[in-house]
Structure 1
Amino acid sequence: MSDYQGVLALSVEAGTVVLRSRRGTDMGLVFREIVTAAGRLPDATVIDCVM
């Protein structure tokens, strides 16, 4: 199993990246590398996925 299992949604709004688990928990501090990379995405980006 991956350490990322259960992380389902990432959004970028007004330069702020939010990474949430399937239960709505903010996972940004746990997966900083994803948040940093996602900061380069344009505003209003939403990624819904299973990692």
Structure 2
Amino acid sequence: MALLSVDAGRDVLRSRRGTDMLPAFPGIDTGAVQMADATALDGVM
């Protein structure tokens, strides 16, 4: 499970335990640029 949020142009991908997962999934960072500011997605990876 992970939470992706975009706030003020900064992308954050965290596990349920708070671990930064963005370095392991660089493609998500690339795609998240297209999302509106103040967006959050919660899902299972």
Q: TM-score, normalised by structure 2?
A: 0.88
Q: Deviations over 1:15-49 (max 9, x none)?
A: 00000011101111110101110111010000011
Q: TM-score, normalised by structure 1?
A: 0.79
**Alignment counterpart, residue 30 of structure 2, candidates 21, 36, 50:** 36
In structure 1, the gaps of 5 or more residues are: 1-5
Greater Rg by CA: 1
Distance in 2, Cα, partners of 1:21 & 1:39:
20
In structure 2, the gaps of 5 or more residues are: none
Alignment RMSD (CA, Å) = 0.9
> Which consecutive aligned stretches of 4+ in structure 1 deviate over 4 angstroms post-superposition?
none
Distance in 2, Cα, partners of 1:15 & 1:35:
11
Structure with bigger helix share is 2
Equivalent pairs, count: 45
**Alignment counterpart, residue 18 of structure 2, candidates 19, 24, 29:** 24
- Identity of matched residues, %: 56
